[in-house]
Structure 1
Amino acid sequence: MELLTILLSGLLGLLSPVGGVVERIAENIIRSQFQQVEQLRVRVDNVPTHQLLQGKVQRVRIAGRSLQLRQNMTIAVLEVETDKVDFDTDNLNRIQLQQPLEAGVSVVLTEQDVNQALQSDAVASWLLNVTVGTLGRRTEQSQQFNFSQPKIHFLANQRLRFQVQLTEDGVEPLQITVESGLGIVSGSQLQLIAPIVWVNEEQVPEQILNAIATNFSQQFDLRSLQSAGIQARILQLNISPQKLEIAAFLHLETSSRLLKQLQL
């Protein structure tokens, strides 16, 4: 969601009727919202040029390399291409789309960059305060577990491996390893394929695996974005050693509440 907000904010630069420097303005706005950028290019197709003054752009293309988000997550490669953009020019302080915005997005994440993000303070703080319902009890009690040392490996054949250590007061730490394929269901949900889970090298029963797989699909369901006026579909997902590649399609409604957060 943060990445989408950054890209939309770059459209604010298109509101400035400065002719040839419009691309540089949009690029600077996007660049300023990343922690660090190795390379970024923005191209705006607005022929005839007077259409820009009317809030109409034929196409916007964004390409970047090594873009670091504020959560210490780095995107190795980012490519975005929009369809026609039509916005209201009466209010230059806020984006108001005249028609839905559609765009194709392609992202490449490296194993090294993902693991660096997993070591960030934000992720560490979340892992240290995970509450899990107590298994096998008929009460509403819950247990507090601490997860630490998370690490991910991108494997061949569309599979990945995730490792994390679980600790609880007075109990010897457990080493949890999850290996699974990753697939797409109806373009909107991520699905674990043939998952295997080990706890201290002991394989977890299939019944628990099924519960884990079901919960994973529910957590990574892009249909949850529809309430914010965003429709998203994953078109392609490729996992290979050292990297993960995702291609997606985004449709942003004119009434999306995400647009209301953006202003000059």
Structure 2
Amino acid sequence: MDILAIIATTLMAIVSPAGAVVDTLAEDALRDQIASAEELYVRIDNVPNYQILSGRIEHAQVAARGLYARQLPDLRVDAIDLETDAVDVDFAALQRGELKLDEPAQAALRLRLKASDLNTFLASPIIQDWLDTLSFSLPGSGAERERSRYGLANPSLEFLDGDRLRINVDLNDQVMAETLEITVELGLDIVNGHRFALNNPRIEIDGEEAPPQLITSLAEGASEELTLRRLEDFGLTARILAFDVRNNQLDLAVFARLEPDSPFLQRQPDPAPQPDSEAVPSPR
């Protein structure tokens, strides 16, 4: 769920005007919080306007298309539409370039992700590094050492009708030096707004139906892992209000609440530039 945390907290961070008192300055501050955006619109409503000097923002709207977060530069978010409730920030801290909340911040957002963008992200090093941390054993293996025998690689995703997904991934057997093609087709149900439950999952391994015990193991493991409750330990409460798969894209409506002491408010520094002597020219 670390990836979900990065996405959610990046979206929450962009509501701060970073000391701005007009929409144009707020948009400039927003651009400093993200890697890039193809389109960006910001509107901040304050009545009376002088309240912003005390750090209170009555209402903020953010719309972005083709957004890339600093923490996930390989993930393109096709569309984001975000609206906040009243937000109280530490104005003096903002003037120093720091983002601090005096009170919890709440926002409702709509998020659209395209399958093509997600597949680009799935091919990125950050996903493969995460897959490399996973350890598991197949049914019947028994021995603990079997948990490091298998690895996953080359994931891809396809959105299907009926709010269903098809996931393809290679299962590498490190002992036998073999690779098996895994296809998982499933639906996703939202339980209590925070947990994804697998609906009628089907698994094929090299074109053969997987045994029922493997499907049961997958469903139980996913139910434990795919919950937004994990984010609450980091001061972020998120609930999914709507979930829709259509036209090879995913649309989400989410409510989020960020606590003032959340570690996600600490902005990550920009990567240090490489010395010229270490730069490697791109092949032509």
TM-score normalized with structure 2 length? 0.83
Structure 1 residue 179 corresponds to structure 2 residue 179: no
Which amino acid in 2 is paired with 1:84? A
Q: How many corresponding residue pairs?
A: 259
Q: Deviations over 1:243-263 (max 9, x none)?
A: 00111101122332323x149
Quote how far apart the aligned CAs of 1:135 are. Answer: 4.2
Aligned-pair CA distance for 1:13: 2.8
Q: 1:172 Cα deviation (Å)?
A: 3.2
Task: Give a deviation string over 1:149-199, Cα, whole Å, max 9, x none.
Answer: 211110001111000111224343211000001110000101110000111
Overall identity of the aligned pairs, in %: 32
Q: Which amino acid aligns with 1:51?
A: Q
Partner Cα separation in structure 2 for residue 263 and residue 34 of structure 1: 11
Give structure 1 regions of 4+ aligned residues with deviation exceeding 4 angstroms. Answer: none
Q: Which residue of 2 aligns with 1:41?
A: 41
**Structure 1: which amino acid aligns with 2:219?**
A
Distance of 1:164 and 1:7 partners within structure 2 = 29
If the length of structure 1 is used for normalisation, what is the TM-score?
Answer: 0.89
- In structure 2, C-alpha distance between the alignment counterparts of 1:204 and 1:242, rounded to whole Å: 26
Alignment of 1:1-264 (within 5 A): 1-16=5-20, 19-20=21-22, 23-69=23-69, 70-92=72-94, 93=96, 94-128=98-132, 130-133=134-137, 135-141=139-145, 142-169=147-174, 170-259=176-265, 261-262=266-267
Shifted more, 88-97 versus 190-199: the winner is 88-97
RMSD after superposition: 2.2
Distance 1:255 1:8, change over 3 A: same
Q: Tell me the amino acid that sits aligned with residue 120 of structure 2.
A: Q
Cα gap change, 1:128 to 1:7, in 2 (>3 Å): closer
The change in CA–CA distance for 1:86 and 1:3 in structure 2 (over 3 A counts) is same
- C-alpha change, 1:134 and 1:203, in structure 2 (3 Å) is closer
* 1:224/1:124 CA distance change after superposition, 3 Å: closer
Unpaired stretches in structure 2, ≥5 consecutive residues: 270-284
Structure 1: how far apart are the matches of 2:263 and 2:134? Answer: 30
Following the alignment from structure 1 to structure 2, what is the Cα–Cα distance between the partners of residues 186 and 204?
Answer: 30
Deviation at 1:111, TM superposition (A): 0.8
